[in-house]
């Protein structure tokens, strides 16, 4: 028994170590890599807990309903109607995820914007997030919760539909439901990585707009050794646009415009597993000005943006 436990612990340690190495590889071009890893791991743990609660909620609710009668007499549509009207409506995941995302994104964007601005020019410190960014945090937090909840519901509905049509036992359907990738730790990890790096890009954009010496932003391709790079992201690397201008992505699924890598206006095919980042284009002449002169320029920009 002790030997078995030791093997399990060693296996877990190996997985954790491999995942840590993957993160270091993914973030190899990020100046704030250590901080980003901490953000990712913390958010991953929080998301995993919410997904686990959502899984338990569905397993218990569906099990209770199916066991209340004979599965042989259950009509598929009746079960799906019940799930849609009762169980799905009672799932609190979207609210919990939205609240967690809003708290996480607010704190992360504040801390990262401060670090990025400090690295560009210590004479121009971070004060507060712009209304543009706070509005984005509010809207995206709500949308992220909604999307993730919908994806989980689609998985549960698919298991029930197939299971009842094929005459599977209650236990079999419940096991399949519990094993859905929608409730997995892997999903929590991928979500945490994508949203943390999105917050990083938003923070870069925020810092560049607030820094008087930054005149443009450059797209930089960065990929993990284990990832197959998107050729159109590689082709975009080195492209420079103005601070308030957008990049144009010419991909296999269409042409898209965005403010930065992983912009939430992009489809998942362009966001998930994208590890690209931005680099500022800095006017050295402005960097040489006095703090007072820089502040005048900054105030002018903030006024023009209606902040």
Q: Is 281 exposed, middle or buried (0-12, 13-18, 19+ CB in 10 A)?
A: middle
Structural domain count, the chain: 2
The answer on 162 and 76 residing in a single domain is: yes
The answer on 149 and 57 residing in a single domain is: yes
Q: CB neighbours of 231 closer than 8 A, spacing ≥ 6? A: none
The answer on 179 and 108 residing in a single domain is: yes
The answer on 146 and 97 residing in a single domain is: yes
Is residue 173 included in any domain, yes or no? yes
- pLDDT (0 to 100) of residue 12: 33
Q: Which of 213, 236, 259 is the last residue of a domain?
A: 213
- pLDDT (0 to 100) of residue 7: 46
The answer on 192 and 64 residing in a single domain is: yes
The answer on 43 and 129 residing in a single domain is: yes
Rg of the chain in Å (alpha carbons): 23
- pLDDT (0 to 100) of residue 69: 52
φ, ψ for residue 245 (rounded to 5)? -95, 170
The answer on 225 and 209 residing in a single domain is: no
- pLDDT (0 to 100) of residue 16: 40
The answer on 254 and 142 residing in a single domain is: no
- pLDDT (0 to 100) of residue 100: 98
In order along its 307 residues, the chain shows pLDDT tens digits of 444 434 433 433 333 444 555 788 888 889 889 999 999 999 999 999 999 999 999 988 877 776 655 444 555 666 667 666 678 888 999 999 999 999 999 999 999 999 999 999 999 889 899 999 999 999 999 999 999 999 999 999 899 888 878 888 878 888 999 999 999 999 999 999 999 999 999 999 999 999 999 999 999 998 666 667 899 999 999 999 999 999 999 989 899 999 999 999 999 899 988 999 999 999 999 988 898 888 888 877 777 666 6
Is residue 293 included in any domain, yes or no? no
For residue 24, the number of C-alpha atoms closer than 13 Å in the C-beta half-sphere is 6
The answer on 188 and 62 residing in a single domain is: yes
Is residue 227 included in any domain, yes or no? yes
The answer on 78 and 62 residing in a single domain is: yes
Q: Which of 213, 240, 264 is the last residue of a domain?
A: 213
Is residue 297 included in any domain, yes or no? no
- pLDDT (0 to 100) of residue 5: 35
- pLDDT (0 to 100) of residue 71: 47
Q: Is 273 exposed, middle or buried (0-12, 13-18, 19+ CB in 10 A)?
A: buried
Is residue 2 included in any domain, yes or no? no
Q: Is 253 exposed, middle or buried (0-12, 13-18, 19+ CB in 10 A)?
A: exposed
Is residue 63 included in any domain, yes or no? yes
- pLDDT (0 to 100) of residue 134: 96
Q: CB neighbours of 306 closer than 8 A, spacing ≥ 6? A: none
- pLDDT (0 to 100) of residue 20: 53
Measured between alpha carbons, how far is 257 from 249 in angstroms, rounded to an integer? 6
Query: What residue numbers bound the domain in which 256 lies?
Result: 214-282
The answer on 218 and 208 residing in a single domain is: no
The answer on 134 and 112 residing in a single domain is: yes
- pLDDT (0 to 100) of residue 8: 36
- pTM (2 decimals)? 0.85
- pLDDT (0 to 100) of residue 113: 96
Q: Which of 213, 232, 260 is the last residue of a domain?
A: 213
Is residue 263 included in any domain, yes or no? yes
Q: How many residues does the chain have?
A: 307
Q: What is the 3-state secondary structure (H, E, C) of the chain?
A: CHHHHHHHHHHHHHHHHHHHHHHHHHCCCCCCHHHHHHHHHHHHHHHHHHHHHHHHHHHHHHHHHHCCCCHHHCCHHHHHHHHHHHHCCCCCHHHHHHHHHHHHHHHHHHHHHHHHHHHHCCCCCCCCCCHHHHHHHHHHHHHHHHHHHHHHHHHHHHHHHHHHHCCCCHHHHHHHHHCCHHHCHHHHHHHHHHHHHHHHHHHHHHHHHHCCCEEEEEEECCCCCCCCCCHHHHHHCCCEEECCCCEEEEECCEEEEECCCCCCCCCHHHHCCCCCEEEEEECHHHHCCCHHHHHHHHHHHHHHCCC
Measured between alpha carbons, how far is 51 from 111 in angstroms, rounded to an integer? 27
Measured between alpha carbons, how far is 195 from 92 in angstroms, rounded to an integer? 21
Is residue 26 included in any domain, yes or no? no
């Amino acid at each position: 028994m002790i030997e078995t436990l030791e093997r399990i612990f060693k296996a877990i340690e190996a997985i954790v170590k491999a995942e840590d190495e993957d993160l270091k590889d993914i973030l190899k071009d990020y100046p704030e890599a250590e901080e980003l890893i901490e953000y990712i791991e913390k958010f991953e743990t929080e998301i995993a807990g919410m997904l686990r609660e959502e899984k338990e909620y569905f397993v218990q609710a569906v099990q209770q309903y199916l066991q209340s009668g004979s599965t042989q007499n259950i009509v598929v549509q009746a079960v799906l109607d019940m799930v849609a009207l009762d169980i799905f409506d009672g799932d609190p995941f979207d609210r919990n995820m939205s609240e967690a995302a809003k708290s996480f994104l607010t704190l992360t964007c504040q801390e990262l914007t401060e670090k990025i601005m400090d690295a560009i020019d210590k004479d121009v410190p971070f004060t507060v997030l712009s209304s543009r960014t706070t509005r984005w945090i509010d809207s995206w937090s709500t949308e992220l919760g909604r999307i993730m909840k919908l994806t989980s519901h689609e998985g549960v509905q698919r298991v029930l539909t197939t299971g009842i049509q094929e005459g599977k036992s209650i236990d079999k359907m419940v096991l399949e439901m519990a094993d859905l990738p929608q409730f997995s730790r892997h999903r929590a990890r991928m979500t945490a990585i994508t949203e943390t790096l999105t917050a990083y890009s938003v923070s870069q954009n925020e810092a560049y707009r607030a820094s008087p010496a930054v005149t443009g932003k450059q797209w930089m391709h960065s990929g993990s050794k284990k990832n197959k790079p998107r050729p159109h992201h590689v082709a975009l690397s080195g492209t420079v646009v103005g601070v308030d201008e957008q990049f144009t992505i010419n991909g296999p699924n269409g042409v898209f415009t965005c403010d930065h890598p992983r912009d939430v206006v992009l489809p998942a095919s362009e966001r998930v597993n994208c590890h690209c980042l931005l680099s500022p284009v800095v006017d050295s002449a402005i960097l040489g000005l006095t703090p007072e002169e820089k502040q005048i320029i900054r105030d002018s920009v903030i006024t023009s943006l209606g902040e």
